[in-house]
Structure 1
Amino acid sequence: MAEEAKEAKEEKRGGSKKILFLVPVLIVLLAGGGGAYLFLFSKKGKKEETAPLPSQVGVMMDLGTFTVNLADRDVDAYARVSITLELSNEKVRQEVDRRLPIIKDAVIDVISSKASSFVRTPEGRENLRLELIKRINTILFEGGVRNIYFTEFVVQTT
């Protein structure tokens, strides 16, 4: 019986050593998990997202394809450009429909005033995009064009 009591005391001591070892391990694991949670789900990470949410995309309207002579003096050049407008709301779409001939005339006027060397560069196309947005927004009263997308852009010189 004395031996059984000794073995019981030794087993109790061994269990307390396990607890003393497991407590710091659990603390480290919980701290690491908490840090990982904060890192992955913090608000800073959400601010860095650059893709627009689907609810932020405006009303899309296909303006058509324009084939326009360019302003080159030494060569004959033309551009074939398909344009889609991103509008702020449905009211603006209705206004664009009412003023479509005026808007198309403005688009032709702006594109035909550019040289082929200008519209062939990314910077030139971006400047053309901004100029078209500004010009079309001066025609509209109900809001405006958020963005212009070139769905086709071909320049040819002869």
Structure 2
Amino acid sequence: MKKVLNPKIIIPVAVVLVLVGMVAYILFAPETWWKPIYIRFDAAEASADNGTTPTTEAEASTHEAPGSTEEGHSAPLPAALDPTHTQPAVTGTQLVMPAIQPGQGIMYELESKVVNLAEPGGLRYLQAGVVLEFHPSVKDYYEAKITEEAASGHSAEGEAVADPFHEAIDAMRPVIDDIATTVLSSKTFNDVATIEGKQILKQELMTNINTALGYQGVINIYFTEFVVQ
């Protein structure tokens, strides 16, 4: 027991324990605690040890993003979809088009509609001639689209579209006719008996048709006949 308590043994052991404790404290204690010295590992040195090069934020920002070119620039949009192009651009589901005066657009006439009004017993009916006015840029858009498809080779071989605008709208004609019939037949006599009521009806038709088309192409609606009996 005397040999164990011998100062010549106790002092060296105590020194070793203190040194080990200090090293453990410096290495593993939280950085927010006070330490006689602070040891930090450099990420660059760690990367060098692994044979890799650290990536800086500036370098990371120049990495190629989806839809970009090798030079880091955004890939050019097709002309018909480019907002800076002279053709109408597509933003979401709307064509961005300059304003024009009523009557300067492209007229597209629907067949005369005869519907029963939403009256008790269905005793009243409405006969209406409807003409849609499209913005001229819509025609330019469809023509540009056909030109691009032909240039890229996506159009069918030998296929020629004389009037791409009317072909595109004709393809939507059943939907447009259904909207017109549904909206007209949902009205009562009082709904359409006044000028204000007819304007509201035009706006409702225009909104529903543009929603179906996917862009704000119809800028006005005209009634060439409007008879309620």
Question: What TM-score range do you get, normalising by the shorter chain?
Answer: 0.5 to 0.7
Matched, 1:60 2:112: no
The runs of 5 or more residues in structure 1 that have no matched partner are 1-51
- Compared CA separation, residues 75 and 142, structure 1 to 2 (3 A): closer
For the residues of structure 2 that align with 1:94 and 1:86, how far apart are their CA atoms? 16
Q: How does 1:1-158 map to 2 (within 5 A)?
A: 52=101, 57-73=104-120, 76-89=123-136, 90=139, 91=142, 93-141=166-214, 143-156=216-229
SS of corresponding position for 2:131: strand
Cα distance, 1:63–1:75 mapped onto 2, change above 3 Å: closer
Seq. identity, %: 40
Q: What is the CA–CA distance in structure 2 between the aligned matches of 1:132 and 1:98, rounded to whole Å?
A: 18
What TM-score, normalized to structure 2?
0.42
Question: Which residues of structure 2 form unaligned runs of 5+?
Answer: 1-100, 143-164
RMSD: 1.9
Report which of the two has the higher share of strand. 1
Q: Between Structure 1 and Structure 2, whose CA radius of gyration is higher?
A: 2
* Contact 1:59 1:93 survives alignment (8 Å): no
Which whole-Å CA distance do the structure 1 matches of 2:181 and 2:207 have between them? 14
Report SS of the residue matched to 1:103.
Answer: helix
- Cα 1:143–1:74 change in 2 (3 A) is closer
Give TM-score scaled by structure 1 length: 0.60
CA 1:140/1:75 → structure 2, altered by over 3 Å: closer, same or farther? closer
Return the structure number with greater relative CO, CA threshold 8 A, min gap 6: 1
CA distance in 1, matches of 2:193, 2:216: 30
